[in-house]
C-alpha cells in the first residue's frame, strides 16, 4: 500500500501523467472559493461519508487536499478503511502547494 501522505512535488509529477489521480478537496466551499487547484472535486469533509461510495472509484488513485494537511490525512485514513487503498493526503495542503508549487494560488 502507498504511503498515507504524498509530497507536493510528487503530486505535481503525477498531475502531468496521462491519467492523473483524482484530486479530492475536502475543504469547505468558502475555502475552495478563496483558493483552489484546478480540476479538484469539492467534497467537504462532513459530506465524505455520505458521498464517497457513490462518487469515488476505490480503484482510482485519489489525492486528498485540505488547507494544511490535517483534515485530508483524517479523510485519507477513513477512505483507506473503506477500501480506497490508493488514497493519499497531500502533505502541507493547499498552503504548502501555494508556497512551493503555484504562488498564484492565494494563501488564506
Whether residue 108 lies inside any domain: the answer is no
Q: Is 71 a catalytic residue?
A: no
C-alpha cell at 34: 478563496
Whether residue 20 lies inside any domain: the answer is yes
Of 66, 75, 90, 94, the active-site residue reads 66
pLDDT digits (tens, 9 = 90+) for 17-51: 999 999 999 999 999 999 999 999 999 999 999 99
Phi, psi of 50 (to 5 degrees): -90, -20
pLDDT at 53 over 90: yes
pLDDT at 2 over 90: no
The CATH number of residue 53's host domain is 3.40.250.10
What is the domain range of residue 55? 5-100
Q: Residue 35's closest CA among 90, 84, 96?
A: 96
Whether residue 34 lies inside any domain: the answer is yes
pLDDT at 11 over 90: yes
Amino acid at each position: 500500500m502507498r504511503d498515507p501522505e504524498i509530497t507536493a512535488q510528487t503530486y505535481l509529477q503525477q498531475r502531468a501523467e496521462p491519467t492523473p489521480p483524482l484530486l479530492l478537496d475536502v475543504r469547505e466551499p468558502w475555502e475552495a472559493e478563496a483558493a483552489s487547484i484546478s480540476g479538484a472535486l469539492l467534497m467537504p469533509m462532513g459530506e465524505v461519508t455520505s458521498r464517497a461510495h457513490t462518487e469515488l472509484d476505490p480503484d482510482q488513485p485519489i489525492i486528498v487536499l485540505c488547507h494544511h494537511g490535517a483534515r485530508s490525512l483524517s479523510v485519507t485514513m477513513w477512505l483507506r478503511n473503506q477500501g480506497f487503498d490508493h488514497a493519499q493526503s497531500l502533505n502541507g495542503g493547499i498552503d504548502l502547494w501555494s508556497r512551493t508549487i503555484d504562488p498564484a494560488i492565494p494563501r488564506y
